[in-house]
Amino acid sequence: MGNKFICMKKKDTRGGDGSRSKRLNRSQRKLLAEEEMLHRRALSMAIHQAQLSQRFDGSMSRRVGSTSSRRRTLSDPFSNGKQVEEFLESLKVKNFVLVHGEGFGAWCWYKTIASLEESGLSATALDLTGSGFNLKDTNSVRTLEEYSKPLIQHLENLPEGEKVILVGHSTGGACVSYAMERFPEKISKAVFICATMVSDGQRPFDAFAEELGSAERFMKESQFLIYGNGKDNPPTGFMFEKQHMKGLYFNQSPTKDIALAMVSMRPVPLGPMMEKLSLTGERYGRGRRFYVQTLDDRALSPDVQEKLVRENPPEGVFKIKGSDHSPFFSKPQSLHKILLEIAQIP
């Protein structure tokens, strides 16, 4: 499934092969549609199973640390119906928008969606351009604006006066920052999960420079680059090999979730990762930001995450022990509890 889904290229429709190419294109589109339907059914079943298990196992992982200036206690919203009602009444904003990181898609949030919905909240997970089920060719995505387009359109279409809690994972943090600059009035809070919470003038890639080397060196020497426009032109994307990916992103994740990721991950467009963000104090600076650190992370080390927090201080910082770069897989209950606590902050 994964290879056909990721690596489609247009056939040459010139000359006498035109009708044959059209038939092939129709066949490919039909195959992709069938694969997408099957994949969506599998995710729907996974979400349903997570909801069922949540009903019978109400325990939530203990919060493992916060550098927020105020200490707060979060009651378990699954304890009884009265607490659920009180919890929901205490929230002014009940809508979460989940933004995936590099190579991922909306599919990676299935446990988080199930938990939030079980808490009586609304959760929307988006596929960024060229990611997940968005069939745009990754090699053609050149700017952060284009990459973030599904998120921007979603925010544009919100009813007047409605706000959301925006959650970004890994390089999806750059899309969250971009959205905060565009729509500060529509974002109640922004949560960066082991994410590239960059400052003005920085690139999303800069956060990974300690692990991957300088951007210039990476563009010249990396073995994971993709040349969608030919070797004579600059690289258009990158994608780690499966074994490398497992070690970087999923060193603490369950086997079933790793299997899902291996058939669902797609190449990362390089242009948006190398683009410097323009963030102003008047717009981005007035947003409420929270950071979630993952302490067993091999893709974005705890030291680098601490540096991001130190250089661009958020309102609160939370830490999850034993989490790899994908806490929605490795520590979903800890992540869920933190999201609920952030939602409750006045």
Catalytic positions are: 170, 297, 325
- CB contact burial 212-228 (16+ within 10 A = b; e otherwise): eeebeebbeeeebbbeb
Residue 146 and residue 172 in contact, taking contact as beta carbons nearer than 8 Å? no
Q: Which of 183, 172, 152, 194 has its CA nearest to residue 298?
A: 194
Judging by DSSP bridges, how do beta strands 268-269 and 289-294 pair with one another? unpaired
Q: Could you give the angle at the alpha carbon of 202 between the alpha carbons of 65 and 269, nearest 5°? A: 95
Cα separation values, 323 from 108, 148, 194, Å: 15, 27, 10
Name the CA dihedral angle for 216, 220, 222, 225, rounded to a multiple of 10 degrees.
Answer: 100
Strand partners for 225: 238
- Tell me the angle at which helices 18-56 and 110-118 cross, rounded to the nearest 10 degrees: 40
Q: Which of 62, 69, 64, 68 has its CA nearest to residue 291?
A: 68
Residue 224 and residue 238 in contact, taking contact as beta carbons nearer than 8 Å? yes
How far apart CA 96 and CA 120 sit, in angstroms, is: 11
Q: Could you give the angle at the alpha carbon of 155 between the alpha carbons of 151 and 157, nearest 5°? A: 120
The 95-99 sheet, strands edge to edge: 122-126, 95-99, 164-169, 187-193, 289-294, 316-320
